[in-house]
Amino acid sequence: MKTSNILWLAPVVLLGWSSCHKQTKQNAVLPPTPVSVTDAKVAKAVYYDKYQGTVVALNSVELRSEVGGFITGIFFKEGEIVPKGKQLYEIDRRKYMAAYQQAQANLSSANANLVKAQKDVDRYNMLLKNDAIARQTVDQAIAAYETAKSQVAVAKAGVLSARTDLSYSIITAPFTGRIGISQVKLGAQVTPGTTLLNTISSEHPIGVDVVINEDDINRFYNLQKHSTDSTFRLQLSDGTEYKRSGKVLAIDRGVTSQTGTVKVRIQFPNDNDALKDGMSCVLNVLNEDSGDRVQIPFKAITEQMGEFFVFTAHDTIAKQNKVVIGPRVGSNIVIMSGLQQGDKVITDGFQRLRDGGRITLGNPAAATGGPGSPPAGATPPKSGLGK
């Protein structure tokens, strides 16, 4: 019986001894992890917020005719700058010229009738004073005069209408701008208000439309009042930077309820015609947090669950710091909060670190194996960061 109990206890004793042995090995002090460090420095950080934009003409008009007919003249070169008032198209004017002349003739006839009616009134009034004519005849003459006067007004309106139609037969540039490719050719028939003839748009200055979140409205209202030459910069679709600076021209009247966004128009000079209506671009807006900021190498940042951390060296101990990051500036990144100037930031070797882990200055690339283990056959590096 005793022999049976001893045999049963033997495996239990061996298992317990093995567990204690493993625990003793785990509790052994791990060698420090070799790392590289650099100082957090304050440097000038000028950075911009990016908005996708579209170049738009500040003034653009589709040219359509107010009268019908056939195109009898085209007086411009497609794609050129046309001055305000320049004749662009002519629609067959013969019918409108004839209508105008007829209206003038009608006006002349109405004026003649008015003169005759005025003389009749004057004559009948003189006879009435001598009791040589009935009062009824005088009243009829006065009524005829008033009718003649209204006929003159109608004739004048007819002349004005005919002159307007005649003027519409010549289509002129409403403002100075660049005209596009003609949509009609000589001899084409034009339907009033329907047929598109061409499009003309202004080019200098020109606008860039961007859509911003409603949270940025106050920021752009402030920029509308106070901005500098460096506030707005434009990056073209080919990656080049537009050399001229812009300013806020207009902010839309309200927020789009479906998207919670607002349209903003930035005006840029365009005297060299580099910007064309419809071009895509990126509007860079100077961030108000630009200035002297703490910066560290971007490679020192780690992300965990949407939060950002860096390891800092405190003598021979690594401490994990939660930071709020800003934009990248070259190979560095701006730290908005979480670090101070002069903090020693671990840039290499932190992948094997935990908060409170032991560290030493060394070559992190030479470390292999498990966390904190030195290279096989190598002498463990000395602890301490060095003074």
pTM (whole model) above 0.85: no
CATH ID of 50-58+204-286, from 2.40.30.170, 2.40.10.10, 1.10.3720.10, 3.30.70.270: 2.40.30.170
Superfamily (CATH) of domain 94-168: Helix hairpin bin (1.10.287.470)
User: What pLDDT digit, counting tens, does each position of 332-353 carry?
Assistant: 888 888 888 888 888 887 777 7
For residue 159, what pLDDT is reported? 93
In the chain, where does the domain assigned CATH 1.10.287.470 lie?
94-168
* Region of residue 273 (left: phi > 0; alpha: psi -120 to 50; beta: else): left
For residue 377, what pLDDT is reported? 36
Question: Does 387 or 95 have the greater pLDDT score?
Answer: 95
Instruction: For the domain covering 33-45+290-366, report its CATH number.
Output: 2.40.420.20
In the chain, where does the domain assigned CATH 2.40.420.20 lie?
33-45+290-366
* Region of residue 360 (left: phi > 0; alpha: psi -120 to 50; beta: else): beta
For the segment 266-289, the average pLDDT, to the nearest whole number, is: 87
In the chain, where does the domain assigned CATH 2.40.30.170 lie?
50-58+204-286
- Residue 229 tokens read as 């030459």
Q: Reply yes or no on whether the pLDDT at 243 is more than 70.
A: yes
User: What pLDDT digit, counting tens, does each position of 25-57 carry?
Assistant: 444 566 888 888 888 888 777 777 889 999 999
Average pLDDT, the chain: 82
